[in-house]
Amino acid sequence: MLKEQLLILLSTPFYLVVIGTEILISHLHLKKYYKLKDTLINVYLCVINGGIDLLFRAVYLVILLWHGVAPNDEQLKVAYNQLPVTLGDY
């Protein structure tokens, strides 16, 4: 998780500078590379992508909370007692 955060902290400013420089140079050369419609489509797709990412993270959290509970001592004893019978089936 720390590596992912570090990558985001380092790459985001880099991309902002590169994209900002590209927009500035295209503006100074009177080139119309970016239109408002294209920018709005990109923003829309970024928001949708962020929403999907957030949805998947919520699903992962629910799965981890649901399955992440360790068995208590009684459940562990029952599981150990069932183990020879289960392995005998294979």
Does residue 79 contact residue 71 with C-beta atoms inside 8 Å? yes
* Region for 80 from its dihedrals, namely left if φ exceeds 0, alpha if ψ lies in -120 to 50, beta otherwise: alpha
The string of pLDDT tens digits covering residues 46-86 is 999 999 999 999 998 888 888 777 788 999 899 899 888 88
Q: Whole-structure pTM over 0.95, yes or no?
A: no
- The one-letter amino acid code at 12 reads T
Residues 6+ apart with CB under 8 A from 71: 79
| Segments in 29-72 forming alpha helices (H) | 36-67
